[in-house]
């Protein structure tokens, strides 16, 4: 324990590091062109906290960070808790008439080591969480709108969930390279948290979509492009399929040659 210039005690608690599933809930405006005032933003945060925190706690999670645009939570017991919580948050918060008026939420889920400590300075105390995996989790939650998804999750979470592919509605949307770990993970769009119509559309086209992704990742852009063109006949609103067609066109014309660039450019 030390003291600052005002004589206040400053204490950093024991730093605990553990591997855990991480969920980041990102709050965003449903209409980016619409300006939002401070009152609306605070109201959205209040409504999200009111609905999300009980769901986090009910699934054995712990809130470790609250920021201006989101909430982060750790799930040490098992990865399935994190996924069930993420899906439930999307279903309940996005269905809430109060929140849905101006804002929606999206969820990123990954797995990694988190360092957590309590910091006390005078009468102020807070929990500080530091993790490279947490930053990736935040990236995924922010990328959901570009990937036309409610929940994006890395394969190191899915691999820990027994019967993941049979029990949860999902589609493989590509790969992501984590530069901190120097590892590449499969990226899943778990669409159990999507609105009913969108969920049905993705379920119907998931085999064709994943076939196109496999062709693209194995440097067969012509075959991949054919799959995504066919898919858009059934669902013209599939944003990530349209993005893949752009990437296929780029690959056919001579790029990208860098594998990691190809992975990351999807989201």
How far is residue 77's CA from residue 59's CA, in Å, rounded to a whole number? 9
How far is residue 93's CA from residue 229's CA, in Å, rounded to a whole number? 33
Return contacts of 247-253, CB within 8 angstroms, 24+ apart.
247/216, 247/221, 248/216, 248/221, 248/222, 248/224, 249/221, 249/225, 251/216, 251/219, 251/221, 252/221, 252/222, 252/225
How far is residue 60's CA from residue 75's CA, in Å, rounded to a whole number? 6
Q: How many beta carbons lie within 10 A of that of residue 167, not counting itself?
A: 12
Residue 124: in which H helix or E strand, if any?
strand 124-130
Helix (H) and strand (E) counts in the chain = 10, 10
Length reported for the chain: 267
Residues 6+ positions from 78 with CB-CB distance below 8 Å: 21, 160
Q: What is the pLDDT of residue 13?
A: 47
How far is residue 26's CA from residue 171's CA, in Å, rounded to a whole number? 21
State how far Cα 222 lies from the chain centre.
30
Q: How many beta carbons lie within 10 A of that of residue 67, not counting itself?
A: 12
**Residue-level pLDDT, tens digit, the chain, 267 residues:** 444 445 444 444 444 556 788 898 887 776 555 556 667 777 778 888 888 999 999 999 989 888 777 899 999 889 999 999 999 999 988 777 544 556 788 999 999 888 777 777 766 667 677 777 888 888 899 888 888 899 999 999 999 999 999 999 999 999 887 776 778 889 999 999 998 889 999 999 999 999 999 999 898 999 999 999 999 998 888 999 998 999 899 888 876 555 545 555 555
Say which DSSP state 192 is in: G
Q: What is the pLDDT of residue 10?
A: 45
Q: What is the pLDDT of residue 35?
A: 58
Does pTM surpass 0.95? no
Q: How many beta carbons lie within 10 A of that of residue 128, not counting itself?
A: 14
Tokens of 91: 């279903």
The DSSP line for 36-47 is --HHHHHHHHHH
Q: What is the pLDDT of residue 113?
A: 83
How far is residue 234's CA from residue 250's CA, in Å, rounded to a whole number? 24
In this structure, are strands 103-121 and 16-29 parallel, antiparallel, or unpaired? Answer: antiparallel
With CA atoms as reference, report the closest residue to 111 among 67, 145, 77.
77
With CA atoms as reference, report the closest residue to 248 among 211, 215, 209, 202.
215
How far is residue 116's CA from residue 54's CA, in Å, rounded to a whole number? 21
């Amino acid at each position: 324990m030390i003291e600052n210039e005002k004589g206040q005690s400053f204490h950093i608690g024991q730093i605990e590091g553990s591997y855990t599933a991480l969920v980041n809930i990102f709050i965003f405006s449903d209409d980016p062109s619409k300006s939002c005032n401070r009152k609306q933003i605070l109201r959205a945060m209040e409504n999200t906290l009111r609905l999300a925190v009980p769901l986090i706690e009910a699934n054995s999670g712990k809130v470790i960070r609250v920021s201006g645009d989101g909430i982060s939570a750790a799930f040490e017991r098992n990865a399935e808790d994190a996924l069930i919580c993420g899906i439930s948050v999307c279903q309940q918060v996005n269905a809430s008439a109060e929140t849905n008026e101006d804002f929606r939420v999206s969820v990123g889920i990954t797995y990694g080591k988190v360092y957590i400590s309590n910091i006390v300075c005078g009468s102020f105390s807070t929990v500080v969480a530091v993790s490279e995996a947490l930053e990736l989790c935040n990236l995924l939650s922010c990328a959901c709108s570009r990937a036309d998804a409610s929940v994006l999750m890395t394969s190191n979470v899915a691999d820990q969930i027994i019967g993941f592919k049979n029990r949860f509605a999902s589609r493989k949307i590509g790969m992501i390279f984590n530069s901190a770990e120097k590892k590449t993970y499969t990226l899943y769009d778990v669409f159990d948290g999507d609105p009913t119509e969108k969920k049905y559309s993705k379920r119907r086209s998931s085999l064709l979509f994943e076939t196109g992704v496999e062709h693209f990742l194995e440097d067969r852009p012509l075959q991949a492009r054919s799959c995504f063109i066919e898919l858009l006949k059934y669902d013209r609103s599939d944003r990530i399929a349209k993005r893949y067609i752009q990437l296929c066109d780029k690959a056919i014309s001579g790029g990208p040659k860098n594998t990691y660039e190809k992975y990351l450019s999807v989201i």
